[in-house]
Structure 1
Amino acid sequence: MSLFSELRRRRVFRTLGIYILAAWGLMQVADVLLPALSLPEASIRYLLLASVAGFPVALVFAWLYDIGADGIRRTPGREALEGTEDDGEGQLLGKGDYLILAGLLGILATITLGVVRNADDLLELPPISASSETELPMIAVLPFAQLGGGEDGEFFALGVHDDLLISLSKIKNLRVVSRTSVMEYAKTTKQIPEIGKELGASVILEGGVRIAGGQIRMNTQLIDASTDAQLWAETFDRALTAENIFAVQTEVTRAITSALRLTLSPKEESDLKKQPTRNLAAYRAFHNAMQFARSYNPGFANYRENYEKKLEDAIALDSQYTRPIMELVGSLAQRNQREQNETDIARIEELIARIQTLDPGSSEAITAEAYYFYYVLRDFDRADELIARAQSLNPSDTRLLEIQSWIKRRKGDWEGFVETARRATLLEPNDLSHKATLVRRLMVVHDYAEAQAVVLAAGQANLEIAIFRNQLELSRHHDLETYQEGLAQFMTQASPARQRSLFLQHWLIQLSLGDIEGASQSLATAEDLIFGGGSVDKADQLHYAMLALEQHLLTGDMSALEKQVEAMKNTFGVESLVADDHDYALIYGRRLHATEKAFLALAEGNRQQAKQITDQHILASAGNHVELFFTRELICRNLGLLADAEGAVRCLREGFDQPSDVHPFLEPRLPHYARIRDSAAFKQLKTELIAQGWLDG
């Protein structure tokens, strides 16, 4: 008898057919009932895996046993039927059969339990690639409207909006438009489809908050950005307590994930159940601190101290509130990155120990520890590991990407420095500020081709994109006058702070073109930009005076240079602008960088001192990626002014090869290198740059 005939005799095919039909029917019922019972979608996946894993058990059962009107009977072997007229009716079960059946049931139960426990590992997907990440749904949470309650209504509308963004940003399979981007749509009259298109969002959440009589009412609705169709809406009326605020936010988050058919991981489910605080006063204090932080102005006196005091107030009201603990660790650590205060360090370490006890493994605890390793211990490798873990738990938080980029830069991981900017553009493809940051970093690593591609893809660009486009176009047309015209136009559109940096570029190009009169006029008008029409401090005076010194040096007006040096000595009350015993912070209102000391020594005519300071700085900066990144162009220019052709050309070549703002299509054309243009080293460099297309012949 063949195997096929034996399988038919033992009715294996019939039993397996019944098993498959039963499994299929179970899946159909589960697909309808489980969502209605609010059970996680993963339950269906567990049933499917258990059914597949149970198939071999069903096969063994079908071979050994048969189910008939008399119940389960053992199927007789082929040898038992040979030479008889037995119709093959099964034998009654013995003790051994019951043991076998119990064993099969045990195996099936063990397989099912193992599948449920390890389903995530069994179906683990590879990390999301850049292409698949852009396919994830993106939600924009518009600023919540204040529907009543005066200042309290506005305060809680902002607080609820912030908390929802934090909650949603922790969901791996959902991209969340940043707070910065959506705040532009506060009180907007634009239609939902228009907003969705501008932000690149597939769904929009909007709502409002009303505070009255100790009650909070929250109206929310989720809208399909492409069709303007309402996907979900709910109104919540609760007593105004911290527990109720977070409970409503949890309900809203669950409704959003359900509407988008997203499956939450066990970690995400656990995070949703957490109550950050049950103390309404602590909740108020924390959001008061965060709203104060967003109102930051460089001119605020004691800004950081006031911010930290507000965070301490929140922690004093609820010592287990992890969010203000994390923010306070970050602020204290940043303040102690250069000169460390023992009291501050002790407080940082105490707070980190507390947050790790309260919520170990949370993104807040890991981020706080990353701040400590980055700013205080300066262990950049460990900080990088920690911030990557925090970012994996909070994948839509672009602030974590920003911190990660600083760490990458400190490590000299310039590819990672650029990649964090790329990831930010993937998270928010319609946010032009992220694209501008990416272009800036690509230019720093001299990847001008990709920078140009990003600029072109940006389409209708913002001011920063336009500034970079102007600079990149110079690399092709080589026309300094056209480049200068662009800078002049941008200065009329820029903020006062941005105007200062644009002025420096515009002024240097005027000097490069030999327009000394125009440069002098620009320098005269720069006084308003530098001093801002307010009180003049020593640091501002120094900045303006050094610009005047630089112009006199570049134009060769030695008489004006000597007068400016004497005027500076009188202004700052010194006999020499640079001296070993100078307390620069006291004299000039701030510390001086080595490149500034070298420049001042050169302006005084102390060329040997200037060269010595420059050489010492180059030696001390070896291996310091960030220091060289920020000062490379200043080093090169000082060497050019010192007429050190070999040193300046070597510096330029290193600047072209390593991350810097030394660009081959612009830097060699500046007047700082006029004294070395006829040197063999500079001529050779220029010949190479012409051959590479960076300069005209």
Structure 2
Amino acid sequence: MQTSDWLQTLFEELKRRRVIRVATLYVIAFWPIIQIVDILSPTLNLPDSIIRYLVFAFIGGFPVMLILAWIFDVDRGGIHITPKEARTGEESRLIGGSNELLIVGVLLLLVVGLFIVQSRMDEESIEVVAAPENNIHSIGVLPFDSFSEVEQDQMFADGLTEELLTVLSRVKELRVAARTSSFAYRGVSKNVVEIGKELDVAFTLEGSVRRNDINDTIRVTAQLIETVKGSHLWSKTYDREYTDIFQIQDDIAASVVGELEITLLGKDLQKIQSRSSASPEAMVANSMGQAELARRTEVSLQDGARFFKKAISIDPNYAEAYAGLAETYALQASYEYESAEEYIPYAQEAVDKALAIDPDSGMGHAVQGLIYIQRHMKQQAAEALERAMELSPSNAMATMWYAQLKEDPGEKLTWHEKAFKLDPRSPVAGFNVASIPLDQGREQQAMEVFAKIVEADPYYPSAYELAARINEQRGRLDEALNQYKRAYDLQPNLGRSASIAELYVDLGDFESSQAWIEKASQKLPKEKTG
């Protein structure tokens, strides 16, 4: 009974001292502020941490407000210590009972309204991400399967896929998912609807290749699938001699364009009927070079150059192989794997040959733009990259390199996002998209892109460097240290060793820091453009 009386007395005292009223007003007044900041933070480019700080302030300020409400009272006479006995009359009120109820009612309506607005914004955001852009012509060319266990036959199937990507990307009215994203689905057990959403394409082209070594014939089956419902729009089987593979390629490309009701005239029609090489063996070597080029490591770029040289030795008029060779040289200089003074001239020589053979090579002009960037010739770089995007609108690399020329962070991010849209499974495109929000303090947005990068390529070193920077900004130095080491193990880099050394200093481990300093150089790698 005594406990019940004590609780009743405490409750009455809390009411008399207006503690309950203050707590209610505190919650319904502070919470809309958090909701408003959360809604406006993307527009104002506020860092993700601002919401976290506001929540901490809300929680930390609550007990302080209760204590102040118990000790002090506010009425029309001002602020004073709450008397031991209750005061009556009009002077004990600050603004009047009915007015207080009105204020509470308005604030509650504001909280409910903001909650509804925020919920609708989240739903719209989800819908935008999930729905493919069916209002434009867009396609993903998935790797063709080989029914042979011979590695050379699989390489041939990859070469056919590569050539189809190249041909279809020349069609200005057709957006084609880039090679990196397309080949990321080799051996992946996902249905066409899922792949369509991830690539943000309305159609996929897939097929198979079966080669008969006895009579040197080949059977190619291709099918065009609509990604919203997964329905087949077109399918055809070609039985030809091995040397007729390029005619098959032209027929498939023409059928896809026709099925999508794209009308081609003049030069556009010639583009899908032209072929990069007259040799299937050169096509295979070029495809292997492209696979190595996409990995962007020091060893893979060296291997890529070797395959491109092999393709050129088989077919000296192979423009795409020359462009690929030029790109490997330019990227080795960009990543400082090799001397720029030595390798940029090599790149220029190769791209000159590519453009001499095919003046309308989109990749040739793109690599020329990259070379100009390395030579700090911004105007010439912009012109070359704009020409590349005009010739090949689906060229994600040209778009990404063009972003490097933009000084305004917002404009640069827009172009990087466009490149990532063209190649959503590209680790390097994703890394560039995540870096700018991270520099602006939007760690959560950067972390979402990091998850996509690792899913596409768990061995991409810069992805872990990105995660390290995120954890470093959040004050998780031990996790940041492990991520930097993971990136360094995948690809030793002077900048990463310097970052590890700095983190050890922050952690107070000067002996370990000195060991990593010995691995670093005063000249750190410059910003990567590839």
Q: Distance in 2 between matches of 1:550 and 1:333?
A: 36
Counterpart residue number, 1:390: 388
- What is the SS of the residue equivalent to 1:360? coil
Q: Which stretch shows the higher mean deviation, 421-430 or 308-317? A: 421-430
Alignment check: 8 A CA contact 2:320 2:364 kept: no
Q: Tell me the residue number matched to 2:522.
A: 592
Distance 1:371 1:464, change over 3 A: closer
Does 1:355 find its partner at 2:354? yes
**Which position in structure 2 is the counterpart of 1:310?**
307
**Alpha-carbon deviations, 1:150-188, whole Å to 9, x = none?**
223211111111211111111111122233333343345
1:220 aligned onto 2:225? no
Deviation at 1:235, TM superposition (A): 0.9
CA contact (8 A) 2:320 2:361 kept: no
- Alignment-mate amino acid for residue 216 of structure 1: I
| Structure 1 position 379, deviation (Å) | 0.5
Task: Give distance in 2, aligned partners of 1:537 and 1:352.
Answer: 28
Deviation at residue 209 of structure 1 after TM alignment = 0.5
What is the Cα deviation at residue 205 of structure 1? 1.6
1:208 to partner: Cα distance: 0.2
Structure with the bigger RCO (C-alpha within 8 Å, sep 6+) is: 2
Equivalent position SS for 1:204: strand
Corresponding position of 1:620: none
User: Would the alpha carbon gap of residues 202 and 495 (structure 1) be closer, same or farther in structure 2, given more than 3 Å must change?
Assistant: closer
Deviations 1:387-414 (A, max 9, x none): 1111121111222211222233xxx254
1:488-534: CA deviation from partner (whole Å, max 9, x where unpaired): xxxxx9988655654565466558xxxxxxx6x769978975875x9
8 A Cα contact 1:169 1:395, kept in partner:
yes
Q: Is the 8 A contact 1:143 1:185 kept in 2?
A: yes
5 Å-filtered alignment, 1:217-256, equals 217-241=219-243, 244-256=244-256
Cα drift, residue 322 of structure 1 = 0.2
In structure 2, what is the Cα distance between the partners aligned to 1:223 and 1:526?
A: 40
Consecutive unaligned residues in structure 2, runs of 5 or more: 1-131
Distance 1:417 1:224, change over 3 A: same
Q: Which moved more, 1:327-336 or 1:258-267?
A: 327-336
Q: Which amino acid aligns with 2:146?
A: Q
Are 1:539 and 1:589, in contact at CA under 8 Å, matched by a contact in 2? no
1:585-664 aligned at under 5 Å gives the runs 588-593=518-523
Partners of 1:348 and 1:494 in 2: how far apart? 27
Letter in 2 for 1:201: V
* Cα distance in 2, alignment partners of residues 524 and 353 from structure 1: 44
| Cα distance in 2 for residues equivalent to 1:333 and 1:588 | 29
Contact 2:297 2:491 in 1 (8 A): no
Alpha carbons of structure 1 residues 292 and 336: separation in structure 2 relative to 1, 3 Å: closer
Structure 2 residue identity aligned to 1:407: L
1:551 to 488, 491, 507: 507
Determine helix, strand or coil for the equivalent of 1:185.
Answer: coil
Aligned partners of 2:279 and 2:315 also within 8 Å: yes
Q: Superposition pairs for residues 58-207 of structure 1, below 5 Å?
A: 135-148=135-148, 150-207=150-207
Deviations 1:451-499 (A, max 9, x none): 99xx6xx9xx9563799xxxxxxxxxxxxxxxxxxxxxxxxx9988655
Q: 1:266 to 1:416 in 2, by over 3 A?
A: farther
2:450 maps to: 464
| Alpha-carbon distance between aligned partners in 1 of 2:234 and 2:167, rounded to the nearest angstrom | 18
Q: Secondary structure at the match of 1:354?
A: helix
Matched residue type, 1:306: D
Partners of 1:137 and 1:173 within 8 A in 2: yes
1:421 matched to 2:416? yes
Q: Identify the range of structure 1 (437-446 vs 197-206) with the bigger mean alpha-carbon deviation.
A: 437-446
Question: Cα offset for 1:535?
Answer: 13
After superposition, where does 1:397-416 map in structure 2 within 5 Å? 397-408=395-406, 412-416=407-411
Relative to structure 1, the CA distance from residue 188 to residue 531 in structure 2 (aligned partners, 3 Å threshold; closer, same or farther) is closer
1:283 deviates by 2.2
AA aligned to 1:323 is: E
Task: Judge conservation of contact 2:395–2:422 (CA < 8 Å) in 1.
Answer: no
Give matches, 1:426-445, under 5 Å.
Answer: 427=422, 438=433, 440-442=435-437, 444=439
In the TM superposition, what whole-angstrom CA distance separates every residue of 1:546-592 from its partner, at most 9, and x where no partner exists? 4332333xxxxxxx76xx49x94xx69xxxxxxxxxxxxxx934421
After superposition, the Cα gap between the structure-2 partners of 1:225 and 1:497, relative to the gap in structure 1 and judged at 3 Å, is closer
| Corresponding residue number in structure 2 for 1:264 | 264
Segments of 5+ residues of structure 1 without an aligned counterpart are 1-131, 468-492, 512-518, 553-559, 573-586, 597-625, 631-697
| Post-superposition offset of 1:247 | 1.7
Greater Cα shift, 396-405 or 319-328: 396-405
8 Å Cα contact 1:311-1:328 kept in structure 2: yes
Contact 1:192 1:228 in 2 (8 A): yes
Match of 1:78 in 2: none
| Matched AA of 1:257 | V
TM-score by length of 2: 0.61
Question: Secondary structure of the equivalent of 2:405?
Answer: helix
What's the CA shift for 1:431? Answer: 9.3
2:376 alignment partner, SS class: coil
Please give the secondary structure, in 1, of the residue aligned with 2:507. helix
Task: Verify the 8 A CA contact 1:133 1:426 in the aligned structure 2.
Answer: no
The one-letter code matched in structure 2 to 1:139 is: I
What is the CA distance between 1:197 and its match in structure 2? 4.0
Structure 2 contact 181–425 (Cα < 8 Å) conserved: no
Q: Offset at 1:419?
A: 2.2
CA distance in 1, matches of 2:481, 2:149: 52
For the 8 Å contact 2:354–2:361, the answer to whether it is kept is: no
Q: Does the aligned pair in 2 maintain the 1:140–1:201 contact within 8 Å? A: yes
Contact 2:333 / 2:340 at 8 angstroms: preserved in 1? yes
AA matched with 1:417: K
* Separation of aligned partners in 1, 2:405 and 2:285: 30
Check if 1:380 corresponds to 2:369: no
Asked if the contact 1:285–1:310 (Cα under 8 Å) also holds between the matched residues in 2, the reply is: yes
Aligned-partner residue type, residue 547 of structure 1: L
Other structure's SS at 2:220 match = strand
The residue type paired with residue 551 of structure 1 is: L
Deviation, 1:310, is 2.4
Q: Structure 1 residues 265, 407: closer, same or farther in 2, change over 3 A?
A: farther
Aligned amino acid, residue 274 of structure 1: S
Native 8 Å contact 2:311 2:321 kept in 1: yes
Q: CA deviation at 1:218?
A: 0.4
| Coordinate RMSD, CA, aligned | 4.4
CA distance in 1, matches of 2:260, 2:347: 40
Going from structure 1 to structure 2, the CA distance change for 1:297 and 1:323 (only over 3 Å counts) comes to same
- Counting matched residue pairs gives 390
C-alpha change, 1:347 and 1:202, in structure 2 (3 Å) is closer
CA contact (8 A) 2:219 2:239 kept: yes
Shift of 1:363: 1.6
Compute the displacement of 1:289 (Å): 2.0
- Which one of 325, 328, 331 corresponds to residue 331 of structure 1? 328
Give the TM-score normalised by the residue count of structure 1.
Answer: 0.48
Distance 1:372 1:265, change over 3 A: farther
1:135-157 CA-to-partner distances (Å, cap 9, x unmatched) read 21222222211123622321111
**Distance in structure 2 (CA, Å) of the matches to 1:306 and 1:216:** 29
- Greater C-alpha radius of gyration: 1
* Letter matched to residue 358 of structure 1: I
Alignment partners' CA distance in 2, 1:503 and 1:277: 44
Deviation at 1:541, TM superposition (A): 7.2
